[in-house]
Structure formats: structure tokens, C-alpha cells
Structure 1
Amino acid sequence: MMTSSPNFKPLRILLSEGTSTSAREAVTVLGLAGHVVDVCDPAAAGLARFSRFVRMYHRCPGMRDDPLGFLRFIDGLLATGDYDVLLPIHEQGFLFAKVQERLRPLAGLALPSFESYRIAHSKAGFRRMLSELGLPQPETQIVASADTLRAAVRFPCVIKTAIGTASRGVWMVCNDADLALVMKELEAGNGFAGEVLVQAHVTGATEKAQGVFCRGELVGFHAYRQIMEGAGGGDAIKRSVRRERVRDDLATIGRHLAWHGALSIDFIMPDDDSGPFYIDCNPRLVESMAAWLAGVDLVDLLLRVSMGETPDVAPAAREGVVTHQAMQALLGSAHRGRDRHDLLRICCDIGCRRGDYAGSTEELTPVRVDWFSAVPLVMTALLLLVSPRLSHALVKRGWGQHLLDAGAVAAIENEMF
């Protein structure tokens, strides 16, 4: 376990959201490091509320429906002078990047320019940037109407809206029936008001990489392979990997965007090692505990950058470190149609660290160091054992007011604040 230096001074952190898995894992890393953590979130019972490391949990307006109200709430907290760093762990960075000159006098903050953030946040913007840089990606077309979408589709393919996270607005399309369902959802949700991507399906393993940048230079990096998929495209089990090519490509992207702060990318590694093929970008730090357990403290690097430091480049992470999220494993298994007996067996396997979970460490709800994290885990397990079909409703609860949609993005872009 990592330890603090003798001259360590705890920082007072305001985490801008507490519902996502990324926020929950950041709380653990920050708490184990000895920092003081406060969280604001519109949900009454976000994941981060159930942690002994959280000092205060502030209920706030939802950013998606009321970005101005959310910003005023953050302004009010920061104006008290109680915080050293504002940590935009999720899509709040889009709003904060727009008004960062207003926020920086109040607390440390690591974000790139708003224009760079917009490019990384939009799947269409990311696709165009990859083309500009000559970096590998699946064959992709950008369309803006139902007719051009139908003409572009070649089965199998992946259809994506330009704005969406946590697998919202992403569909795997294998036949005409799948396409008809996607068209119905796009038209019902006014999906054609923005750009839609049609991307060729690439067979291979899903992998992800995370980086922290200081004024365009990569100072920390971690990559892992998805071993088991959870609910909503999340990772139930992951294993750290070495990916020097991906590290170089991520450094190229960060340098091109003059990135400042955290940046993550998803990619496919085909079985014939012809990849990587980059498929998505998240302008934030995603689920940082796996990197921490592999020996790279990306959260600490992000704090140092936020405070204006220029940290040394972190050493490479250890390869082969396996971690899991019990909640994701249960939700994903129920989502795929497993029954109560299957779920009970998975609970036993996780508790005894056997089968798929042998040699793996829990990263989302680390009960051994944070007993309070057992609350959402136990509640999820009990609900799924009562009715596995509840997985669909439980997954949708994570798509809360802390996430942006196309309407909220447009409002933030056009608002003068």
C-alpha cells in the first residue's frame, strides 16, 4: 500500500459528483491518502455517500437540467475558502472548463481549454481528431439523418450519438431488426438533432488507458484489459497491461490538445495484434483504483497538477494486476439473464476469492478498508437475489443528473454565465 511522505499535508477536496463508479473510487484513493473529501451530488444516495472517507455530502441542483443552478452551488461552496482543489471527476468538467477563469481563484483546478474539452467530449470531435493525427480507428461515417444512416450501415456495426457516456447512445447493430430498434430510439430521443456515428465493428478485446497531463505533457499512464464486462459497458474484472504504443498515442493526443488534467481513451486490441483501434475518449479520470493498486497514483498526480505543480513522470504500472467490482459483476450477470442460483454462486465466488475472482482485489466497494461501502453492495446483491430483472432499473439509476445530454451540452455552450 502506498504511504504519504513525512512532509505530507492533507488537502481539502471538493468532488463535483458522487454517483459514478469513478467518483466512488476517487474517494477511496483520496481517503487512503489522508485528504479531506467533501462531495456534492443531486442524488440522495450516490455511491460516494457510503464511505467513511467522506466528511460532507452536499445535495445540489442537477447539472443536466440546471447547469446555472449547479454552478452557483459550486461557487457558493468554493467561496467559503474551505477547499484547496475542485476535482471534476465526471462530466462536470465540461461546464467547469467553460468558466475555469472564474473558478481558478477559488480552488486548484486542472482542465484544458473549453475548445479542447469539447473535442474530446464529442465522439464526432474525437473521430475527426484521430483522422487529423493519423491515429488508428475503425472505419467510421458521421451522419445527420435517418436516410444517410440507413445508407451507411453495414452489418455488423456500432451506432453512436456524438454525446453520451456510460454506454448511453451506443448500440451494437447486427441485423435489420436491431437497426429498426435503434432508429426508433434515435427518433424518439431526437438523436438526429446532432451528429450520429456509424462505426465498423472490430473484433478483439476491449482495453482502456488513462493519463494525467501537465500543460500538454503526459506525466502518468495506466492501461488495462476488460476481462469481464459488467452492466452498461462497465468493467466487472480488469487486468493491467503494458501498452507502449497506446502511451505514445495518448501523449500525442494530449500534446495536440494542450491537455491539462486527466484524459482517458477506450480501444480495441484485435486478436492478431493489428491494433489498437481507438473508439472512445473520456476527458476525465475513469475508475482510478485499478491504477492505484498497480502502483500508479493518478489521483495524486491530478491533485499536484491542480495545485500548479509540475510533477515528475510516474514510473510504469505493474503488469498483470487483476481487480474487480462486485456490484458490476452482479449487475452484469443479472443483465445477461443469470438466475438467482447463478447470482448466489457469484456472491460466494467473490467472497471467497475463487473462480474468476481468484487473486483479484475489489476496487469499487473496498469493505476491508471502508466498511461503509458494504451498504450499496449488500443492497444491490439482495435486490438482485429477490429479482434479477431489477438489474435494468438499477443500472438506469446510475444515469442521473450528474450526466450531460445533447440539450445540456448545447445550453452550456450557449450560456454566457
Structure 2
Amino acid sequence: MPDPAKPLRVLVSEGSSTSAREAITILGLSGHHIEVCDPSPWCLSRFSRLVAKFHRCPGLRDDPAGYLAFIEQRLVDGKFDVLLPTHEQGFLFARARQRMEGCVGLALPSFESYRTAHSKAGFSRLLDRLGLPQPPTQIVTSAQQLREAVRFPAVVKTSVGTASRGIWFIRNADDLESPLHDLGAGDALADEILVQDLVAGTTEKAQSVFCRGQMIGFHAYRQVMPGIGGGEAIKQSVRRPIVRAHLEKVGQALDWHGALSIDYIMPDHGDAPLLIDGNPRLVEPMNAYRSGIDLVGLLLQISLGETPAPLPESREGVLTHLAMQALLGCAARGGTRSDVVREIVRLCANSAPYAGSSEELTPMRSDWISAVPLAVTAALLLASPKSAIKLARGGFGAHLLDVGSIRAIEGEGFGT
């Protein structure tokens, strides 16, 4: 078995997400050999000197069987130590785990547990079963049930979705027409839909690594400034013992093995956090890294079959930012060209609100090629600030799942 203290050959499952890009930075700073698979030749992680090789692959969304066959061939050709699922590819790998065992180091729970954490409806039911706090929630399966369940203000969510896909904020009856139209709602919806009361408060996220049901690493951060699509432009690390206890209870119930994250709200009125979403992966792990704990490195160790000692608490109060999110968020909130220019100046000068913060997505000092997608984003926004929404949607590509690909993967005989 390879020594996790030595450089490893790591195959990253996709290169389009911000989480993958940040994991690559951490892997590269640790000296590992990194190769990336993605259906897009222009994915975010393509612009990094830390990536030794890029493999253009079939899309997980459109051809999950083809994507799986491609990954398996890369594992044979490349003799990798670890396969690192940075996004929804873990759903596929968990389903085909028997085929992959013995071929590469891979840290994933059972498919049943992964499916529970990946589904918003399944995760909500688990929280109910464990007695953990969440906003008042109903799960519906028809347009009529959806209309009857909504209490203004509310949030409507598809059971499948990530990066704020399939989420609508409903403040009046007119707002409800948009999700009904987008969902193509007839008598029955294509999948289960969650209806939750909209709770005013601060959005925070917690991420962890479990080793066979035991938590061995934990980190939490709060949103200081929003970006676009529900993402953070500025984050600050926090200590949340109660959230840690909640997440630990979830991981133990699922006998979790690998990375597990949750989103939660700290309500404006009341101290108890409300859990709102689960993610069976690490979500943008750089703030944790800057705060003193390497969750990606921990994931590599358990992928190799190690049982590492639990990591200490991360430092609180550490600020990090994503310049690309900041610019997109500025433009999406109605910012003009002048507003975008001012935001660029503040970022370059590291002045308020970025004072004391470090860049986590495009670290130009250590990885100068990462400046390319940031510069292109800035140029496009200066040409047309209204293009922000379209640019953000470019990340919701063929590397992600949809209802059809999930049903194909869940189908009888898939992956055996």
C-alpha cells in the first residue's frame, strides 16, 4: 500500500466545480501528481499548472455508463493510488463500488447511504428520524400538493440538485408559477419536491471526513458576503460545536465513510441552527485548509485504507474569498460596469471588505494560470454585466447528474 506521506497519483473525477478546483490546489501544494477528467475542455481546473494531465471524458449526465467505462480505463492506464470524487460522481462510484474495489483507493459509504445524503427528500426524512432541527418541511409529489403546502415565504426545492439548481424562493402566489412551469407539473411531478418555510438568518456550511462511521475531521464557515447562485464570495471560519454534534449523528447513522457536508441556517431569532441540505462531498475545502486542517489530505489517507487520528479544531475567524464569485455576485445584483470596476480595484488592493482575506479559488501567486478564467470573467462582465447569470450557469454542465441519469444509475444491473 502506498505511503500517504509520499506523493500520490490522484485522479480527480471532474474539473468544472469550484470544489474540484480548490481540492486541486491543496493536492498540488502537497506535491501530489494530479490528473483530471471532465467533459468540458474549458473547465475551471484546466487552467492550473498543478494538473499534470487532462482527460476529456463522456458527460456523467448524458452517458453515465460511458463515463464509468472511461474512468475505469484511466485507472488501468494510469496506475493511480486514489480516485477522488469531488462532486456528484460519487453517486456513480458508490453504485459501482464492487467493480472498483481493489483497483484504486476510494473513500465512499454504501450506495444506500450515499443516496440518502444526496437526495434532499431522503436527507430531510433522515433528519426527522434522528430528531435533528430543520425548517418546517413538507414533501410533495403533485402540483396540487405543492400549491396546498406553500406558506409564504417559502423555499421550493427539487429532491435532486446542487449549486442552487432547482431552488425557488416563493414570497407570493405569483412566485409559485415559476417552479410549477419549470417542473412541467401536471397531475404528478417528475420527482419529490420539498417545501420549506423560509427562515431569516445567516447561511453557514460545515464539512467533515468520516472513517467507517467516526468523524475524524470537521470545519465550519459562515457567509460574510454572497456571490451568485447561493455561493459565498467571502467566508469566515467559525466554531459550531452543536453543528458538529448534529453532523456526527448523521454520519454515525449512515455509517459514513468519506466526505460529508451540510448547509444550515443560523436564525436571526433563536440560537439553534436549522439544517437545510446535505452534500456527500467536500464543498470548497480551501477555507478549512487556510484555517489549519487539511480535509483533502485526510480523505486521501482513508482512501488508502488508513485510520488516521482525528484532526484538532480548525482556527476560527479566518477570512477567505473567491474573486470570481465576488464579481459575478456584484453584476448579478444589478451592478453596472463602474460597480464591477470598483469591485476589481477592491480585490486587487485587498481593501474592505477583502482586507485580511486570502483568495481561495484562483490563487495566482502559487498558480499563475488560474488568472486566465478570472480575467476572462472580468472582461465579459465589463462588456455586459447582465451576462453574470449566464456565466454562472456554465458550471451546471454535463459533469453533474439529473433525474434521468440518476434513474439510469439506480437501474437494475447497472455497475455490476
TM-score (norm 2): 0.97
Q: Name the structure 2 match of 1:268.
A: 265
- Identical-pair percentage: 60
Q: Distance in 2 between matches of 1:144 and 1:190?
A: 9
Q: Name the structure 2 match of 1:407.
A: 404
**Structure 1 residues 273 and 361: CA distance shift in structure 2, 3 A:** farther
Once the two structures are TM-superposed, the CA of residue 392 in structure 1 deviates from its matched residue by 1.5
Count of equivalent residues: 412
**Structure 1 residues 58 and 191: CA distance shift in structure 2, 3 A:** farther
Asked whether 1:75 is paired with 2:72, we answer: yes
Assess if the C-alpha contact under 8 Å between 1:13 and 1:83 holds in 2. yes
Once the two structures are TM-superposed, the CA of residue 244 in structure 1 deviates from its matched residue by 0.4
SS in 2 for 1:171: strand
Q: Distance in 2 between matches of 1:316 and 1:191?
A: 47
Q: Name the structure 1 match of 2:339.
A: 342
**Structure 1 residues 189 and 383: CA distance shift in structure 2, 3 A:** farther
SS in 1 for 2:353: helix
**Structure 1 residues 78 and 415: CA distance shift in structure 2, 3 A:** farther
Consecutive unaligned residues of structure 1, counting only runs of 5 or more, are 1-5
Q: Which moved more, 1:75-84 or 1:296-305?
A: 75-84
Q: Name the structure 2 match of 1:225.
A: 222
Q: Name the structure 2 match of 1:312.
A: 309
Consecutive unaligned residues of structure 2, counting only runs of 5 or more, are none
**Structure 1 residues 243 and 190: CA distance shift in structure 2, 3 A:** farther
Residues 26-60 of structure 1, C-alpha deviations (whole Å, 9 max, x = no match)? 00000000000000000011110000100001000
Q: Name the structure 1 match of 2:99.
A: 102
TM-score (norm 1): 0.97
Q: Distance in 1 between matches of 2:48 and 2:240?
A: 33
Assess if the C-alpha contact under 8 Å between 2:143 and 2:188 holds in 1. no
Q: Name the structure 2 match of 1:361.
A: 358
Runs of 4+ in 1 over 3 A off after TM superposition: 188-191
Q: Name the structure 2 match of 1:322.
A: 319
Once the two structures are TM-superposed, the CA of residue 273 in structure 1 deviates from its matched residue by 3.8
SS in 1 for 2:375: helix
Q: Distance in 2 between matches of 1:170 and 1:102?
A: 35
Report 1:353-392 matches (<5 A).
353-392=350-389
- Letter matched to residue 326 of structure 1: A
Report 1:6-405 matches (<5 A).
8-187=5-184, 192-405=189-402
Q: Distance in 1 between matches of 2:109 and 2:263?
A: 20
- Letter matched to residue 342 of structure 1: D
Q: Distance in 2 between matches of 1:8 and 1:249?
A: 31
Q: Distance in 2 between matches of 1:265 and 1:341?
A: 36
Residues 309-359 of structure 1, C-alpha deviations (whole Å, 9 max, x = no match)? 000100100000000000001111111110000000000000100011111
Once the two structures are TM-superposed, the CA of residue 81 in structure 1 deviates from its matched residue by 4.8
- Letter matched to residue 315 of structure 2: R
Q: Distance in 2 between matches of 1:373 and 1:190?
A: 48
Assess if the C-alpha contact under 8 Å between 1:81 and 1:106 holds in 2. no
SS in 1 for 2:389: helix
Residues 187-209 of structure 1, C-alpha deviations (whole Å, 9 max, x = no match)? 17998111001001111100000
Q: Distance in 1 between matches of 2:389 and 2:30?
A: 35
